[in-house]
Structure formats: C-alpha cells, structure tokens
Amino acid sequence: MTEDVQKHSVHTLVFRSLKRTHDMFVSDHAKPIALDDGSHKVKMGVKLKTEYGAVLHMPVLKEGKDRVSQNFIVILFYDPEYLITGTHAYPSGPGVTLTADTKVHRNPSEGGVHSMALALPPSQARLDASRTAASIGDIQRHAGAERSHPQSTASLMEGGSTRNSTLMRKAPTMPKPQWHPPWKLFRVISGHLGWVRSIAVEPGNQWFVTGSADRTIKIWDLASGKLKLSLTGHISTVRGVAVSSRSPYLFSCGEDKQVKCWDLEYNKVIRHYHGHLSAVYDLDLHPTIDVLVTCSRDATARVWDIRTKANVHTLTGHTNTVATVRCQAAEPQIITGSHDSTIRLWDLIAGKTRATLTNHKKSVRTLVMHPRQYTFASGSADNIKQWMFPDGSFIQNLSGHNAIINTLAVNSDGVLVSGADNGTIHMWDWRTGYNFQRIHAAVQPGSLDSESGIFACVFDHSESRLITAEADKTIKVYKEDDTATEESHPVNWKPEILKRKRF
C-alpha cells in the first residue's frame, strides 16, 4: 500500500533547508568565549607574576600607588613626579646622596615637553616623538610633498626605526690617484752567470749586494754599477741576502739549506745557522734587536739569535713552503707568506701565530711593508692585496698584474712596484690602487725571450733608484723620468664606481 508523500511548496522546502544549515553551523567552536572579568584578572595576575616578576617593582604613580592601573603596566609621560619603589632605590644622579627627597624624581611638565619639541629641528622632533616606522597614512600624506621636496623622503625615513641611509648615500668612487712620474731604464749591469735571485742595499746607500743561481754573492757600487767584490761559499742558488744596519754583517741563505753570516771587514763567513731541513728561501733582519728570521721549503720559519747562533723559535703552522718573511719593530714583529696561500702574523715573544690571513687563492711569494704607514701588501698570482696592521684587516685588491708575482717594493711616495715571472713590472699608486705604468724591459742580448723574469726588486735608500734582479742574469736599474710632467704623462683615470671586494 503506497503512502501519500506530503507535498510542500518550494518556498517551504528552501526555508527548511536553510534552517537545517543554520542549526548545523550556529555552534562555531572557533569563536572565542565571552570574556569573564574575574577569570581575566586571575589569568593576567598569573602572567604578570611569571613573566614580569623581575620588573614588577617599577616606578608607580605617587597618588595611585595603592590602586593597580587597568593596563597593569604604568606608563609615565605627564605626571610631574613619581616615587622609586622596590629593593634598590637610586638617587637622581651620580654623587647625590640617597635621601627621602632625592627618591622623588620630577618629570618635565607637558608644556615644557611641547616647548622643547618646538625648539628641536623637525626631523629630530619626529624622531623623538615616534620611534616606530612610518605608517601607511604618513607615507600617503607625504606622497604629494615627495615630488616637490625630495629631501622629505630622507626625513620620513629618519622617523622610521629602519632608517635606511644607503638609499641616499652615493656609490663609492675611487679617489683621484696622485700623479707619479714614469720610471725608465737607466742602467743594465751584467756579471752573474746565473739567474739573479735576491738584492739588498746597504744602509749607507753606497753599494748593494746580489745573490745568484751561480752560487756567488756579488757586491756592486750603487753610483757606477761596477763590481766591487764576489763572495763564494754557498754550494747552491743564493735565495736571500740582507745587510745589517746594526753591525758590519751580511747574511745570506740558499737552496743548500745554509744560512751564513759574513763579516764584511774580513769578507769571510764567521757564523752558520744550522737547523733548516730544506732549501732556505728568504731571510730578514729585525730592525731593533739582534735577531735573524729565515723561512724555508720545510714549511717553517726560524728565529735565530745572531750572536749565539741559537734557534730561538721555530715558527710552525704553514702547510707548504714558506716563501717570504718580513720583520718590523711594531707588533706583529714577523709576517710570513707561504705557498699554502696563507699569510701568518706572528707573536715573536711567544713564537705563536697571532693571525692567519686566508684571502689569497694562490701561493703568496712576496710581502712588502709600507715605510711610513702601518700597512703592508702581499703578492700572489691571483691578486696583490693590501692589509692593515696589527690584525691584518683587508684594505683593497690591486688587480691587473696577471702573472706569478715574485716581488714587491714600495717607497715613501706611495709607488708600489710588482715584478713578475714573465718579466713585466707594474707600477701602482699605493693609496688608490691605480696602475700608472707597465714596463717590460728587453732581455740581455744572447738571452731567450723566455728568460725575462723579475725575481727581486728593491728601492735604494734615497728612493730615486729601483734595482731589479732578473732571469736574463742581469741587474737593471731604473730611475724616474725627469722630463715627464703631468701634461706630458697625464693620469688616465675615470672616477668609476668601485666594485671593491670584501676579501
């Protein structure tokens, strides 16, 4: 038997469906429960005790000390005075005794605050009035003024907590380099039978000494370029020479692992310094104490007492050949550069590393210290880098000498010279890193073109001559071109935006 289905109008059915939907969704569990004042006070009390317990005893309003503020944290702006409460009351300033009167601090009145705000410049008033970032309303309010007053952008940014001054700052440009006269070849000295590997000028500036792959040390007159003396004794290439300013001694080192001290009054070896396990590549004398520092292919540098021949320190830490060493009177007193591509600054007293500079990517073959500034430069196949003592802070890169740089020299005028394996010499302005001259001198007649390499270079003490030791067995002397002027040899310099690397 079929039961008749009750028929409803569409209108009734729709409303019934709507009511069901309403009943289903009316109990929204995501809605917050109505706030109960009692519970809220308990909750805030617990929160204050747990989270703000350490700072609950803060300055409280004098007249409202017995009642708790509705906001729980009292902000004092316009009350003339308030009491200090809590465990440590403090006076109003240093040297003021803590009395009942000094416990009361007087705040400036509202009128005083306004007059002070009017007296301040607008940007300062805005800065002091609001420490929050500029709101959207502020930005829209200033949008019209921005077009007519570009400087308002800076003051708007000043009002914000993120005061981004980099938008207004100009991009750094290279300062104009100082003009230096170009250098020209002045004299070529022949006499060695092998590569000339090292040079040193004596303190009196009368003569200079060279060490060569022909195992001899030769002493030359600086003014005339004539040979004065030859010293034999090494049985392999002489890699380093140094003349003492404190005694009549000449020091030499070579690939025969020997370090020798020559007495120039008798022209004889008077001391040997034994200890290196492999070829000794460079040496330097300490300017103020009788100490000699040598560095070697055995990855160490050794500090010797000149008089007693004692090995005072063995400076270990490099992981490959130590190619160059420099000494100075100030800290750090010893600096070494190595084929492990690091530079180490040493504490001479402790015999330990003060700092390791790892910025170079290739072997560091040469170091030079500026005669007047507290800075130094290092030469490598990737770059010449300038550094600041005492911690080795990086200053700048001198890029462009794309060769294996064997030697660096710098004079008081700020002329930095770099000499490379391929025979090129680059002249740089020390301050700006501008490369103002490039020289590639011809090789000695009878030599191969491949034999043009610069192994060492040094300025004499008058700084008017540059002496280079080369692979074509010659010594070349350069001097400044007296006829050159700023008009005849202008600085070809454009103030380009610096793409200075951080390391």
Q: What string of DSSP letters covers 116-136?
A: HHHHS-HHHHHHHH--SPPPH
Q: What mean pLDDT do residues 72-83 have?
A: 42
Q: CATH number of the domain at 231, please.
A: 2.130.10.10
The reported pLDDT for the residue numbered 68 is: 45
Range of the domain at 231: 185-480
What does the DSSP 8-state code read for residue 167?
G
**ω into 390 cis (within 30 of 0):** yes
The reported pLDDT for the residue numbered 75 is: 40
Angle separating helix axes 151-159 and 122-129, nearest 10 degrees? 30
The reported pLDDT for the residue numbered 444 is: 87
Whether residue 253 contacts residue 283, with contact meaning beta carbons closer than 8 Å, is answered with yes
Q: How would residue 8 be classed by pLDDT, with cut points 50, 70 and 90? A: confident
Q: How would residue 113 be classed by pLDDT, with cut points 50, 70 and 90? A: low
The reported pLDDT for the residue numbered 244 is: 96
Statement: residue 59 has pLDDT above 70: no
Instruction: Give the end-to-end CA distance of the chain in Å, rounded to a whole number.
Output: 97
Lowest average pLDDT, out of 151-160, 378-387, 405-414, 459-468, goes to: 151-160
Residue 420 pairs with which residues in a beta bridge?
A: 405
What are the pLDDT digits (tens) for 205-263? Answer: 999 999 999 999 999 999 999 999 999 999 999 999 999 999 999 999 999 999 999 99
At 466, the amino acid letter reads: L
Q: How would residue 149 be classed by pLDDT, with cut points 50, 70 and 90? A: very low
- The token duo for 307 is 């008089």
Alpha-carbon distance 236 to 257, whole Å?
Answer: 9
Residues found in the chain = 503
Whether residue 467 contacts residue 477, with contact meaning beta carbons closer than 8 Å, is answered with yes
Tokens 């793409």: give the residue: 499
Alpha-carbon distance 411 to 465, whole Å?
Answer: 10
**500 part of a folded domain:** no
Q: How would residue 173 be classed by pLDDT, with cut points 50, 70 and 90? A: low
497: three-class secondary structure by DSSP: strand
Alpha-carbon distance 262 to 268, whole Å?
Answer: 5
Q: What mean pLDDT do residues 291-305 have?
A: 97
In our burial notation (b when 16+ CB lie closer than 10 A, e otherwise), range 89-116 reads eeeeeeeeeeeeeeeeeeeeeeeeeeee
Whether residue 217 contacts residue 250, with contact meaning beta carbons closer than 8 Å, is answered with yes
The reported pLDDT for the residue numbered 432 is: 92
Lowest average pLDDT, out of 69-73, 87-91, 359-363, 390-394, goes to: 69-73
Burial of 136 (0-12, 13-18, 19+ CB in 10 A): exposed
Give the C-alpha distances (Å, rounded to integers) separating 451 from 23, 216, 405, 423, 448: 99, 20, 15, 8, 5
**145 part of a folded domain:** no
Statement: residue 342 has pLDDT above 80: yes
Q: What mean pLDDT do residues 424-436 have?
A: 95
Whether residue 484 contacts residue 182, with contact meaning beta carbons closer than 8 Å, is answered with yes
- The token duo for 30 is 């995501």
**339 part of a folded domain:** yes
Whether residue 397 contacts residue 383, with contact meaning beta carbons closer than 8 Å, is answered with yes
164: three-class secondary structure by DSSP: coil
Number of domains within the chain: 1
Residue 309: CA atoms inside 13 Å, Cβ hemisphere, count?
A: 10
**63 part of a folded domain:** no
Statement: residue 88 has pLDDT above 60: no
**444 part of a folded domain:** yes
| Better-predicted residue by pLDDT, 122 or 400 | 400
Count the helices and strands in the chain (H runs, E runs): 6, 31
**ω into 490 cis (within 30 of 0):** no
| Percent residues over pLDDT 90 in the chain | 60
**36 part of a folded domain:** no
Say how far residue 126 (Cα) sits from the centre of its chain: 37
Rg (CA), the chain: 39
In our burial notation (b when 16+ CB lie closer than 10 A, e otherwise), range 449-488 reads eebbbbbbbbbbeebebbbbbbbbbbbbbbebeeeeeeee
In our burial notation (b when 16+ CB lie closer than 10 A, e otherwise), range 322-335 reads bbbbbbbeeebbbb
**94 part of a folded domain:** no
| Better-predicted residue by pLDDT, 421 or 104 | 421
Under 8 Å CB-to-CB from 502, ≥6 apart: which residues? 394
Report angle CA 183, 187, 188 to the nearest 5 degrees.
120
- Across 297-374, where does the E strand assignment appear? 300-305, 311-316, 322-327, 334-338, 343-347, 352-357, 364-369
Residue 26 pairs with which residues in a beta bridge?
A: none
Alpha-carbon distance 360 to 420, whole Å?
Answer: 17
**180 part of a folded domain:** no
Alpha-carbon distance 390 to 387, whole Å?
Answer: 9
Q: How would residue 108 be classed by pLDDT, with cut points 50, 70 and 90? A: low
